[in-house]
Amino acid sequence: MPSLVNPEVEMAVKGFILDQEKMAEVVERMTKEMKMGLAKDTHPRAVIKCFVTYVQDLPTGKERGKYLALDLGGSNFRVLLVTLNSDSDVETISKSFEFPKSLMSGSGKALFDFLAECLSEFCIENGVQDETLPLGFTFSFPCQQQGLSKGILVAWTKGFSCEGVVGKNVVTLLQEAIDRRGDVKINTVAILNDTVGTLMSCAHSHKNCRIGLIVGTGSNACYVEKTVNAECFEGYQTSPKPSMIINCEWGAFGDNGVLEFVRTSYDKVVDRITPNPGRQTFEKCISGMYMGELVRLVVIEMINKDVMFHGDKSQKIQKAWSFNSSYISDIESDPPGEYRSCNKVLNELGIIGSQESDKESLKLICEAVSSRSAKLCACGLVTIINKMNINEVVIGIDGSVYRFHPKYHEMLQFHMRKLLKPGVKFELVVSEDGSGKGAALVAATAVQNKPKI
């Protein structure tokens, strides 16, 4: 059967195609950048920072107690109360709060006062306001950590740009906001990235879990490195603990231009309309915050060329960011030749009277963007596995793109198999509750390791 897709559309999506050779090149370049991040002398100028997290203990299953957790880092903001009763009995109570968009670009003080207010409201609602509870703060932005409870924000990402926070210890900012209120007794004992929570939570049930991956609003990964290789950790040669979790902050890969060979003209347009142009190049090719906009930009170009949707320029889709990445999952979940979900999306976007060729073209554009995303993630994971030089690993994964895209898991698995050395076994596992259970496990580590006076 001849393709229903307009040849102009096929041409437009060509730039998103990554063949095996290009993927191998991505792995090679990423390997070099990661090494630079880990090594002390090159760390300051490295783009993939490979930050030391100060988390050196994987869960043993013996962690117990009651912990609070706060999760800030993307589209959701949550407060959680986690009780570790036994290795198989973990109780979690959580509440999601509506996060006012204005706080994303307001003052830092307003942001942390809001977090403290939600925390206080949650503690009072759950009757724990008089208990002195340790808190694990999942703060998923690039931080230079100087201890388990000290994280200096390096740069805002994912649409945030609050004033007066970059260069500051965010644990102090949170703790001061809590103390200013004075109505709850909370000790912020640990700051962690969501990738670390994801790894820890997965490692609680899968003993061989050594990598945590997020493909949600943003994208990032962490992994378990040998402490002796974590040169930016002051005790890397003397620490009695053999392991250190490294927060790669791989979203910044390509910020020095080494990824231009995988970028398209659409990537450059998306980059220009973000609050952090020139930053987070890899993340902007992969994650949910940007995938929908990439699809939209191709569609708009096709409408303007009169090759899709009758060239009709009146629809809602003309508005920047109007094409949510969840639409990509919807459109790609239709079986071949059926358009039930696609029709629903088109309806929501106010596009009427579309033809089958328009829908096939739209599906092809979605597939081009999502498969490049999965291929790049596969390259990242393979880089890490090669670096770790192991033959078997479990990877804990979270984020709506991975969870809900109908083919993401298969694509990731397929391309990893093609890139990895023969004989290397891996398992991709959805990690449940990284910002709850994972954060509590890190907080438990912090409490255990605190010097006793």
Ligand X SMILES: Nc1ncnc2c1ncn2[C@@H]1O[C@H](COP(=O)(O)OP(=O)(O)OP(=O)(O)O)[C@@H](O)[C@H]1O
The footprint of ligand X (CB under 6 A) covers 73-76, 140, 194, 214, 216-218, 288-289, 324-326, 328-329, 399-401, 404-405
Task: Give the residue with the Cβ less far from ligand X, 36 or 48.
Answer: 48
3-state DSSP call for residue 420?
coil
Contact 82, 437 (CB under 8 A): yes
Shortest distance, CB of residue 241 to ligand X, whole angstroms?
Answer: 27
Shortest distance, CB of residue 421 to ligand X, whole angstroms?
Answer: 30
Contact 432, 119 (CB under 8 A): no
Bridge partners (DSSP) of residue 211 are 223, 395
Task: Give the residue with the Cβ less far from ligand X, 73 or 136.
Answer: 73
How big is the chain by its Cα radius of gyration, in Å? 22
Q: What is the residue whose two structure tokens read 């979790």?
A: 245
**8: exposed, middle or buried (Cβ count in 10 Å: 0-12, 13-18, 19+):** middle
Contact 102, 114 (CB under 8 A): no
Task: Give the residue with the Cβ less far from ligand X, 140 or 383.
Answer: 140
Of 49, 71, 113, 158, which residue is the catalytic one?
158
How does 181-217 read in b/e, with b if 16+ C-beta sit within 10 Å? Answer: eeebebbbbbbbbbbbbbbbbbbbbbeebbbbbbbbb
Shortest distance, CB of residue 11 to ligand X, whole angstroms?
Answer: 26
In the complex, which residue's CB is closest to ligand X?
74
Shortest distance, CB of residue 140 to ligand X, whole angstroms?
Answer: 5
Neighbouring CB atoms inside 10 A of 381's CB total 26
Of 194, 255, 271, 433, which residue is the catalytic one?
194
Shortest distance, CB of residue 179 to ligand X, whole angstroms?
Answer: 27
* Distance from C-alpha of 52 to C-alpha of 231, rounded to nearest angstrom: 9
Task: Give the residue with the Cβ less far from ligand X, 157 or 175.
Answer: 157
| 158 given a catalytic annotation | yes
Task: Give the residue with the Cβ less far from ligand X, 227 or 281.
Answer: 281
Give the helix, strand, coil percentages of the chain, each rounded to 5. Answer: 45, 20, 35
Written as one string, the DSSP assignment of 386-419 is HHHT-SEEEEEEESHHHHHSTTHHHHHHHHHHHH
Task: Give the residue with the Cβ less far from ligand X, 25 or 432.
Answer: 432
Shortest distance, CB of residue 32 to ligand X, whole angstroms?
Answer: 26
Which tokens in the block code for residue 156?
Answer: 């805002």
Q: Supply the residues annotated as catalytic.
A: 158, 194
